[in-house]
Structure 1
Amino acid sequence: MAAYILLVEDEVKLARFIELELTSEGYEVRVANDGITGMTLARESPPDLAILDWMLPGLTGVELCRRLRATGSKIPIILLTAKDEVSDRVAGLDAGADDYVVKPFSIEELLARIRAHLRRVQEDNSDILQFEDLKLNRRTREVFRGERAIDLTAKEFDLLDYLMSYPRQVFSREQILEKVWGYDFVGDSNIIEVYIRYVRLKLEENGEKRLIQTVRGVGYALREN
């Protein structure tokens, strides 16, 4: 899936130029020409990375950056500015910006910075699996359905981890037994049905839609329907 970038820049021609370059690189781009609109777009659909101009009408890029960080957002933020004093760089970084590109700049440099930050995020997120509103963190062994934390046993977690690692792929009971319980498991193969039921009950506790589907005669899959 293409990374989604939010660009907040009040110079319309520059914004259009950057938007075209980003789109040609395969990114999904949304553009705002003032800080308030930028904040609204960021809240409506959180981007993978934001590019903010320093001097914006309504809400400066630095203030917008500060507000995004106050909401808990950890997305990479690149500030675009004509300001090149050390004090300005410090102010931008203190507000929570990850990077700082001084105008005029080469589009190649900006694209390289974007790739570097998105690559870092991808590496940081390698322990996080997500499908629809279901999120699993391998490092902390936490699971969330939307904002709701779900308490799973060790084996329930391992089962969900396996299904989430290969979304939409159908697995037989034998495959699940081998990967989650191991070759040396001795016991009733109905253990799969029992644990699938346990995990479903926890994932659907508040009436959420079913994500672990039974594929009749084959096994189970994590998919919409």
Structure 2
Amino acid sequence: MVKIMVVDDDEAIRELIRVYLVREGLEVLQASNGQEALKLLETTSADLVVLDIMMPLMDGWDLCRELRANYNDIPLLMVTAKSESAHKVRGFQLGTDDYVVKPFDPVELVMRVKALLKRYRIASSQTIHIGDVVIDRTTLEVRMKGQRYDLPLKEFELLYKLASYPAQIFTRAQLIEQIWGIDYEGDERTVDVHIKRLRERFDSVTNQFHIATIRGLGYRLEVKHD
């Protein structure tokens, strides 16, 4: 059974989220702060973490940082009363995947949880399908309508990373670290150059996806739906 960890110091909020997630057949683990959540993860696993920001002992910022450092494959959904843009930017920079502001609609939260779980399942595959576009990690090629596109390695890795998490925002720093490595000494603008090349390759031949610039944050791949 899929396990969702809910981390919030408000017991009523935890219970509300638990009720709606259980209705969808999901198992729910609960923690009242970041320290408790990390302790729980030492003995059990979670497929997704829903976390508040303002908590005692260890807040959501620090928890998000620790989870990204030690459990990078777990999707994170922030639920908080903080609606200012600066808080959203900080959350995405620390590695959260999505953001819901209190007071929230529990049905919407469940939908976002399901979307994140689906997104991460896509990321674990070696082949990504976006309409008639196939991005194949085993052959390092993109196939579309009988055509094969061989990309330089970094371009392919960048496209594959973005396509693995459709709609997720990646900062330039995150892409540099994950594609070029933490020891890369070049300029972050190399990401911009590679994004430009990918757009030049694919924007004119497919309307299935587009790499969008999110001002002040970074980039995300948007899937086009008919």
Normalising by the smaller structure, the TM-score range is: 0.5 to 0.7
Counterpart position of 1:94: 93
State how 1:54-93 maps to structure 2 within 5 Å.
54-93=53-92
SS of residue in 2 equivalent to 1:19: helix
Give 5+ residue unaligned stretches, structure 2.
Answer: 128-135, 139-226
Counterpart position of 1:42: 41
SS of residue in 2 equivalent to 1:115: helix
Give 5+ residue unaligned stretches, structure 1.
Answer: 129-137, 141-225
User: Does 1:111 find its partner at 2:115?
Assistant: no
**Whole-angstrom distance in 1 between the partners of 2:72 and 2:4:** 14
**Whole-angstrom distance in 1 between the partners of 2:83 and 2:20:** 24
TM-superposed CA distance for 1:116, in Å, is 0.6
Larger relative contact order (CA 8 Å, sep ≥ 6): 2
**Whole-angstrom distance in 1 between the partners of 2:91 and 2:53:** 9
**Whole-angstrom distance in 1 between the partners of 2:116 and 2:24:** 15
Question: In 1, are the aligned partners of 2:52 and 2:80 still within 8 Å (CA)?
Answer: yes
Q: What count of residue pairs does the alignment treat as equivalent?
A: 131
TM-superposed CA distance for 1:30, in Å, is 0.4
TM-superposed CA distance for 1:3, in Å, is 1.4
Compare 67-76 and 94-103 and name the one that shifted more.
Answer: 67-76
SS of residue in 2 equivalent to 1:89: helix
Counterpart position of 2:123: 124
**Whole-angstrom distance in 2 between the partners of 1:71 and 1:107:** 29
**Whole-angstrom distance in 2 between the partners of 1:63 and 1:96:** 11
TM-superposed CA distance for 1:139, in Å, is 5.2
Counterpart position of 2:19: 20
Counterpart position of 1:9: 8
Question: In 1, are the aligned partners of 2:20 and 2:107 still within 8 Å (CA)?
Answer: no
**Whole-angstrom distance in 2 between the partners of 1:36 and 1:116:** 27
Normalized against structure 2, the TM-score is what? 0.54
Tell me the C-alpha RMSD between the 2 structures. 2.0
TM-superposed CA distance for 1:72, in Å, is 4.5
**Whole-angstrom distance in 1 between the partners of 2:96 and 2:109:** 15
Question: In 1, are the aligned partners of 2:8 and 2:31 still within 8 Å (CA)?
Answer: yes
SS of residue in 2 equivalent to 1:126: coil
State how 1:60-209 maps to structure 2 within 5 Å.
60-127=59-126
TM-superposed CA distance for 1:108, in Å, is 1.1
SS of residue in 2 equivalent to 1:44: coil
SS of residue in 2 equivalent to 1:92: helix
Q: 1:82 corresponds to which letter in structure 2?
A: A
**Whole-angstrom distance in 1 between the partners of 2:115 and 2:102:** 19
Normalized against structure 1, the TM-score is what? 0.55
